[in-house]
Every structure is written in C-alpha cells, then in structure tokens.
Amino acid sequence: MAPYSFLSTWCVDAPITDVWDAIAASDRYPEWWKGVLEVVELEPGGVNGLGALSRMRWRSKLPYSLQFDARVTRSEPPHLLEAHASGELAGVGVWRLYEGAAGTAAVYSWDVSTSRAWMNRMAPLGRRAFAWNHDYVMRHGAFGLADRLGVELVAHD
C-alpha cells in the first residue's frame, strides 16, 4: 500500500453552520462537487450521523475512478467530522471548521493508502500525478461549495 497525506483548506464567506450542513451531507456531494460520481448510504448514522456508512465513487481528470466506503467515526457539529475509509483507499479523513470575520475555513486532512495493485506499483513514479489529481478534485469541491451556498470563495489551496 502506498501512503499519502493531503491537507486542503477552503475559505468561504458563509456561516459555519451552512458549511457544516453541506459537508456533513455527503450523500449530496454529487449535486455540487465535480468529481463525486456517486454516494450511496449503506447504513444510517445515529446522533449527528455518527456511525453512518457510505460507499463513494470519485473520478477526476486522470482516467481512473476510486471507490471506497467511509464510516463516520467522530462528529462534533459544527467543528469536526471524521471518517475512516476502506476499499480502494484506506485511511482517515478529517474536516475541521473554523469561523472568523471573513467567513468559514474548512480544513481537510486526508491520510490514506491506496490498495489497487497498479497504483501501488506506480507510486514511486506516479505520486506527483496522484497528488495533482487529488488537488484537482479538492479545487472543484471548493468552488462547488461556494456555488452551492451562493457565496464567495475567499481562498483555497
């Protein structure tokens, strides 16, 4: 398995609760996040979505898609949402939200490993391309979130 660690930040001119509502509703991602092909709820969650299990299928600019299951393991509205992934990607994704004078910053850390044999074989040479692909998807998410909320995207990386 090839490990990857990504950190993305989106800043939108919106209240933290609006950003939380959009990010916590992963089943709605395909409506606003280019690259998210499908999200299917496999198991409903309890309070604040804790324990929910979803199957996600993503595709970006490079000619491959990835499918993995994500289970919500921590949910502290409106500040923290954590999910553990298994499948073609395995690891942990954590959203941290902060509200300030300019709106809300959504910081996403994604520490995963690939489980597809071809990706693991290509990792030494393909790591930059895979990272670029991840950044491409996240950029579209930032713009899609701002558009979804009808607000300005203040910054993204």
Question: Which CATH number belongs to the domain containing residue 38 in this structure?
Answer: 3.30.530.20
Number of structural domains in the chain: 1
CA neighbor of 94 nearest in space, from 106, 79, 105, 110: 110
Q: Give start and end residues of each alpha helix (H) in the chain.
A: 16-24, 29-32, 117-149
- pLDDT value of residue 62: 84
Q: In order along the chain (157 residues), what is the average pLDDT of each group of 10 residues? A: 90 98 98 97 96 96 91 98 96 97 96 83 80 93 98 90
Q: Domain limits at 136?
A: 2-156
| pTM as predicted | 0.94
Determine the pLDDT at residue 121. Answer: 79
Instruction: Please say whether the beta carbons of 17 and 78 come within 8 A.
Output: yes
pLDDT of residue 117: 79
Q: What phi-psi label fits residue 150: left (phi over 0), alpha (psi between -120 and 50 degrees) or beta?
A: left
pLDDT, residue 63, reads: 83
CB 53 within 8 A of CB 43: yes
